[in-house]
Amino acid sequence: MISQGAFTVEPWALRETELRLDVLPQSESLFALSNGHIGWRGNLDEGEPSGLPGSYLNGVYELHPLPYAEAGYGYPESGQTLVNVTDGKIIRLLVDDEPFDLRYGRLHSHERELDLRAGVLRRSCEWTSPAGCTVRVRSTRLISFTERAIAAVAYEVEPVDGEVRVVVQSELVADERVVYQSADPRVAAALEAPLSPSSPSPRGCGWAWRTAPSAAGCGSPPRPTMCWTARGAPPGRPRPARMWPGTP
């Protein structure tokens, strides 16, 4: 259970003023975004740590058989479960070759805000790596209400105590390992690795996956759409400061 002190009381926003790893599954549910077609759980941008990874597409589900010791009239032969599709919201950050991971180093501040009026999730934190490099990381995540197949993340990195080498990687991860909390072992077995590569890929897709029994499919572009903006970079050594990876 999340204590009331972790959140502030505001009319049009849900704001978390500190990061508590012990209640990550609950906070990921609170900071989820969706437009009825795409759904993203409020996982951290870097992907780890996480309570329950989740990226969903309406209509992409899996069928699983429901065997019984003795058949009976009206017993369903199969069930349907929404599956976790390819995760395109993960952004890996390396600070002087040190991975940005809040479980290591020193976290000075961390805040997340779900803006209910604008429909975006904002995050800001200040972190010092185990090697002693301090950076401020800000991100804004949205799922479009006007273009239902568009989701995007604005990602900004700012060095605090001097020049650092920053590497930003946008990832597409399929069949993320998810521990399903279900008392029915038949459901867990069906969702262990529901996605398999589809060949040939549909036109315009770099990668495509489909579920086996239900044949529901999803695709990704050859690479996420990225726009870079360098701000305050020293002459001769441009440093990317922002990135917008789009996920059609």
Q: Do 13 and 115 contact (CB within 8 A), yes or no? A: yes
| Element holding 24 (H helix, E strand) | helix 24-30
Check which CATH number belongs to the domain holding 12 and give it: 2.70.98.40
* Residue 125 is assigned to a structural domain of this protein: yes
Tens-digit pLDDT profile for residues 60-101: 877 777 778 788 888 888 777 778 888 889 999 999 999 999
* Residue 140 is assigned to a structural domain of this protein: yes
* Residue 202 is assigned to a structural domain of this protein: yes
* Residue 93 is assigned to a structural domain of this protein: yes
* Residue 177 is assigned to a structural domain of this protein: yes
Grade residue 129 by pLDDT with cuts at 50, 70 and 90. very high
Kindly report the average pLDDT of the chain as a whole number: 78
Range of the domain at 174: 4-243
pTM over the 0.95 mark: no
* Residue 79 is assigned to a structural domain of this protein: yes
User: Is pLDDT of 206 > 70?
Assistant: no
Q: Do 131 and 142 contact (CB within 8 A), yes or no? A: no
Grade residue 178 by pLDDT with cuts at 50, 70 and 90. low
Tens-digit pLDDT profile for residues 134-158: 999 999 999 999 998 899 999 999 9
Helix (H, G, I), strand (E, B) or coil at 77: coil
How many structural domains comprise the chain? 1
Percent pLDDT > 70 in the chain is: 69
Angle at 83 between CA 28 and CA 148, to 5 degrees: 75
* Residue 248 is assigned to a structural domain of this protein: no
What length is written for the chain?
248
